[in-house]
Structure 1
Amino acid sequence: MNARWAYIQLQTRIVKKMLADSVRSHEIQRQVMLHKVRLCADSRFGREHGLASIRNTDDFRRQIPITDFEYLRPYMDEVRNGNPGAMFGPSTRLLMFALTSGTTEKPKLIPVTDDFIKSYKRGWKIWGLKTHIDHMDLARKDYVHLAGDWQESQTDAGVWCGSISGLAAEIRPAVVRRPFIVPPQVGKISDWTSRQYMTLRLSLPSRRVGMIVTANPLTLISLANLADQHKETLLKDLRDGTVTMPNQDVDYADSLKSRVRRVSRRRCNELEEVVNRTGRLLPRDFWPELSVVGVWMGGSVGAFIPDVRKLYGDCAFRDHGLSASEGRMTIPMNDESNAGLLDYTSNYFEFIPAAEFGNDNPTILESHELEEGQSYYILLTNSGGLFRYNIHDVVQCAGYEGQTPLLTFLHKGVHCSNMTGEKLTEYQVATAVREAFVDSQRSVETVMLVPVMDSVPRYMLLIESQADQGVERLAEAIDSRLSNLNCEYENRLKTKRLLPILPRTVPSGTWERLRNEKIANRGGTQEQYKHTFLGTSDSVLDQLPAGTLASGR
Structure 2
Amino acid sequence: MMLSGLRVALAPSALRFHQSLSRPERAQAECLSRVLRAVEGTTQAARLPGFPRVRTAREFQDAVPLSTPDSVLADVEAIKAGEPRVLTRAPVSRFEPSGGSSGASKYIPVTQGLLGEFHHALAPMLFDLLTARPALRAGPSYWSISPIGRKQGRTPGGIPVGSVEDSAYFPRFLQPLLTRVFAVPGAVAHLPDVESCRYVTLWFLVAREDLALVSVWNPSFLTLLMDALERHGERLADDLERGMCRPPGGSGGEVGAVLARMRFSPQPRRARVLRESLRSGLRGLALWPRLSLLSMWTDAQAAHAVEPVRLRFPGVEIQGKGLLATEGVVTLPLFAAPAPVLAVRSHFFEFLEPEHPEARPRLAHELEAGRTYSVLLSTSGGLLRYHLGDLVRVEGFHHATPCLRFLGRADAVSDLVGEKLSAHRVSTVLSSMLSRVLGQSPSFAMMAPEWETPAPPAYRLFVDTDVPEARLEASARAIEDALCEGYHYRYARELGQLGPVRVLRVTEGARHYEARCIALGQRAGDIKPTDFHRRSGWTAWFSQRGTSS
Q: TM-score, normalised by structure 1?
A: 0.85
Structure 2 residue 382 is the aligned partner of structure 1 residue 388: no
Distance 1:403 1:268 in 2: 51
Aligned residues: 536
Check 1:80–1:501 CA distance in 2 against 1; reply closer, same or farther (3 A cut): same
Give the structure 2 partner of residue 544 of structure 1: 540
1:49-68 CA deviation, whole Å, 9 max, x = no partner? 25322211232122211011
Check 1:153–1:183 CA distance in 2 against 1; reply closer, same or farther (3 A cut): same
Larger deviation, residues 70-79 vs 141-150: 141-150
- Contact kept? 1:26, 1:403, Cα under 8 Å: no
Distance 1:240 1:256 in 2: 15
1:355-399 CA deviation, whole Å, 9 max, x = no partner? 234xxx333111111221111111111122211111111111111
Check 1:551–1:481 CA distance in 2 against 1; reply closer, same or farther (3 A cut): closer
Check 1:479–1:53 CA distance in 2 against 1; reply closer, same or farther (3 A cut): farther
Distance 1:72 1:349 in 2: 18
Structure 2 residue 73 is the aligned partner of structure 1 residue 62: no
Structure 2 residue 292 is the aligned partner of structure 1 residue 295: no
The code of the aligned residue for 2:249 comes to N
The code of the aligned residue for 1:119 comes to E
- Contact kept? 1:207, 1:287, Cα under 8 Å: yes
Check 1:387–1:34 CA distance in 2 against 1; reply closer, same or farther (3 A cut): same
Structure 2 residue 396 is the aligned partner of structure 1 residue 399: yes
1:74-113 alignment, distance < 5 Å: 74-89=74-89, 92-102=90-100, 105-113=103-111
Give the structure 1 partner of residue 273 of structure 2: 270
Give the structure 2 partner of residue 348 of structure 1: 348
The code of the aligned residue for 1:347 comes to H
Point out where structure 2 has 5 or more consecutive residues left out of the alignment: none
Shift of residue 45, structure 1, vs aligned partner = 1.2
- Contact kept? 2:233, 2:274, Cα under 8 Å: no
- Contact kept? 1:503, 1:551, Cα under 8 Å: no
Check 1:55–1:487 CA distance in 2 against 1; reply closer, same or farther (3 A cut): farther
1:278-289 alignment, distance < 5 Å: 278=281, 281-289=282-290
Check 1:125–1:542 CA distance in 2 against 1; reply closer, same or farther (3 A cut): closer
Check 1:193–1:502 CA distance in 2 against 1; reply closer, same or farther (3 A cut): same
Check 1:462–1:425 CA distance in 2 against 1; reply closer, same or farther (3 A cut): same
Point out where structure 1 has 5 or more consecutive residues left out of the alignment: none
Shift of residue 520, structure 1, vs aligned partner = 4.7
1:288-347 CA deviation, whole Å, 9 max, x = no partner? 22111111111212210111111123111112210011111101112897x210001111
SS at match of 1:328: coil
1:112-261 alignment, distance < 5 Å: 112-147=110-145, 152-163=152-163, 165=166, 167-168=168-169, 171=172, 172-248=174-250, 251-252=254-255, 257-261=260-264
Structure 2 residue 329 is the aligned partner of structure 1 residue 328: yes
Shift of residue 513, structure 1, vs aligned partner = 6.2
Distance 2:273 2:507 in 1: 35
The code of the aligned residue for 2:290 comes to E
Larger deviation, residues 413-422 vs 524-533: 413-422
- Contact kept? 2:348, 2:377, Cα under 8 Å: yes
Give the structure 1 partner of residue 39 of structure 2: 40
SS at match of 1:534: coil
Larger deviation, residues 184-193 vs 475-484: 475-484
1:79-100 CA deviation, whole Å, 9 max, x = no partner? 11112322221xx242211111
- Contact kept? 2:472, 2:503, Cα under 8 Å: no
Give the structure 2 partner of residue 73 of structure 1: 73
1:12-42 CA deviation, whole Å, 9 max, x = no partner? 4543442332121112112201211211212
Check 1:243–1:458 CA distance in 2 against 1; reply closer, same or farther (3 A cut): same
Shift of residue 433, structure 1, vs aligned partner = 3.1
- Contact kept? 1:449, 1:535, Cα under 8 Å: yes
Distance 2:539 2:480 in 1: 26
